[in-house]
Amino acid sequence: MRGTLAAPRRTEETHKRGPGAVLLVGNFTSGSARYGSVGRELAANLERAGWRVLRTSFHEKKALKVLDMLYTCWTERRHFEVAHVELYSGKAFLWGEAVCGLLRRLGKPYVIALHGGNLPNFADKRGPRVRKLLRSAFAVVSPSEYLQEAFNSCLSDVQLIPNALDLSVYPARVRNRPAPRLIWLRAFREMYAPEVAVDAFAAIVSEFPDGRLVMIGPDRRDGSLQRTVDRAKHLGVADRVSIIPGVPRSEVPAYLDNADIFLNTTTIDNTPVSVIEALACGLCVVSTNVGGIPYLLRDGRDGLLVPPGDGVGMGAAVRRILTEEGLALKLSGNAVKKANKYSWNTVLPRWNRLLRSANPSGRADLNQDPCHASVD
């Protein structure tokens, strides 16, 4: 087994006496490094806070991924005190369940972090199994009020700790008189309905002939990218739609800064980082009103919400932003203000305190540390 699985990566202790060592169980593949992921961001910030961080898994293939996770938990059991496990729906739930089972056998406390807009539907079909897993954790964390509320029937104390960003890299610029420069940022995947962005753009282009739509995201190879290209050709806007198959996370702020209106066309969602990035840059956001989006955006205040699959309705919302006096200024200004609650300066102390409270060796001096805010 050792010959086929990647060696777990460990960091050196950054302080002689830090808060402890934590194992992060989630997606650390090369793709997550290029495009960014919540787990990678959390790992980097915990290291800056003094934690020793172990990560798993770096494997692309699902079978090797779960084996590597279990292998790392076992072989590194003496090198971490607490674990953080990302929990998704579908087949990914199985690896989360398997990892937590092993952690219990090892006597390791773990925090479960809920992810994915489809997780509530998944839990409805497998209620007892999901409840058993969540109740076995030291704590369960939700990045959104949507998932927190959805799992109230399983647990009464799901903690809210939102996904966070380094806001210093996002140029905040309030749009007063936006130009018809639209951007869509997501993976080309059926659940994200990229064709709807083309429909929305086509609905306004005759009135705004200088309009442009930039679409950025990796190809998930389910036919969505080709359907989007075909839709743009069919609607006669292919020469004004630029499709870029994914960019490094470091380049995202510049692309967002060059646009004024952000389109989010997803059919299933929780609290997408891409939308928070758009808010941080001050873009005017038009989004579908699915899943956790209405918990993130207040319609008419910091975004405009439309039903899923309604390209014409999304186009009408874009037209409002471009023509309705004062609307863009209100949406953009409120977007920048809202983004502040997703700063790592605000979120990291909450993770720090929660993980320290889960760490048996770190509980003794937790209440003596005045530098860490309490967990909400």
Q: In this predicted model, what pLDDT tens digit does every residue of 235-250 receive, in sequence order? A: 999 999 999 988 988 9
Tell me: do 147 and 192 sit in the same domain.
Answer: no
Q: At which residue do the structure tokens 């873009």 appear?
A: 283
pLDDT band at 332 (very low <50, low <70, confident <90, very high): very high
Cis-peptide, bond into residue 136, ω within 30° of zero: no
The mean pLDDT of 325-341, rounded to a whole number, is 97
Of 21-25, 276-280, 340-344, 368-372, give the lowest mean pLDDT range: 368-372
Percent of the chain whose pLDDT exceeds 90: 79
pTM equals 0.84
Tell me: do 130 and 67 sit in the same domain.
Answer: yes
CA distances to 33, 223, 249, 281, 337 from 253, rounded to whole Å, are: 16, 27, 8, 7, 17
CB 213 within 8 A of CB 179: no
Tell me: do 299 and 363 sit in the same domain.
Answer: no
Q: Is the pLDDT of residue 155 over 90?
A: no
Tell me: do 119 and 26 sit in the same domain.
Answer: yes
In a domain, 2, yes or no: no
Tell me: do 173 and 149 sit in the same domain.
Answer: no
Tens of pLDDT along 96-127? 999 999 999 999 999 999 998 889 999 999 88
Round to whole Å and give the CA distance between 43 and 30.
15
Considering Cα of 96, then 109, then 64, then 6, what sign does the dihedral take?
A: positive
Class of residue 376 by CB neighbours under 10 A (exposed 0-12, middle 13-18, buried 19+): exposed
CATH number at residue 123: 3.40.50.2000
Q: What is the mean pLDDT of the chain?
A: 90
Range of the domain at 55: 9-164+343-368
Tell me: do 178 and 158 sit in the same domain.
Answer: no
Tell me: do 269 and 328 sit in the same domain.
Answer: yes
CA distances to 40, 61, 204, 369 from 92, rounded to whole Å, are: 18, 12, 40, 37
Tell me: do 274 and 361 sit in the same domain.
Answer: no
Tell me: do 276 and 157 sit in the same domain.
Answer: no
